[in-house]
Amino acid sequence: MYKTSVLSTVLLSTLLTGCVSYAPLAVLPYFDPVGELGSVKKIELSIDSPEDVKIFLNSAPNGFSLAENELKVLPGYSHKTLGVLKIKYSSGHCVAGDLGRTDLINILKKGTYDNGGNAIIYSSILWVDGTKGRRRCTPGNEDPTYASGWIVKLSK
């Protein structure tokens, strides 16, 4: 009896309001630094704001080599690798329009800036607004990682 009455209440509520209420989608940046475990690195900013962060989608500027998930700075360059940034699912449900490419780019830029980088390389953004072949924010499609990349400090 209880299951039927709860189901009836949910169905009636859905019919009357036209939709089921969901908590909005929330994502969080996770930074994995490179270097000695437990060492504390002082963050030295080389740019003025997150808007100044350069993003290289699935690529990098000269001076880097990526093979088997190992990023190396090539001889003759003084770039610094700081770590990997991932934008991951935190809570809530994805509703079309909640999360878009611009949102993910802004989160990547802020996470890069907050961790002392001036660029994020070999980055990928899994959800792109209106692009065929890419996933979009749709109910039930909560992927654990939405965007990621290597945070670096490019030399001048």
Answering whether pTM is above 0.85, one says no
- Residue 150 CB partners (closer than 8 Å, separation 6+): 60, 66, 71, 81, 83, 84, 85, 120, 121, 122, 123
Pair 110, 55: CB distance under 8 Å: no
Q: Quote the pLDDT of residue 8.
A: 43
> Chunked in runs of 10, what are the mean pLDDT values of the chain (156 residues)?
43 44 74 80 85 94 90 95 89 67 90 95 74 48 76 92
Q: Quote the pLDDT of residue 74.
A: 96
Angstrom distance (rounded) from CA 115 to CA 22: 32
Q: Quote the pLDDT of residue 141.
A: 53
CA distances for 79 relative to 27, 86, 99, 104, 126, angstroms: 29, 21, 32, 25, 27
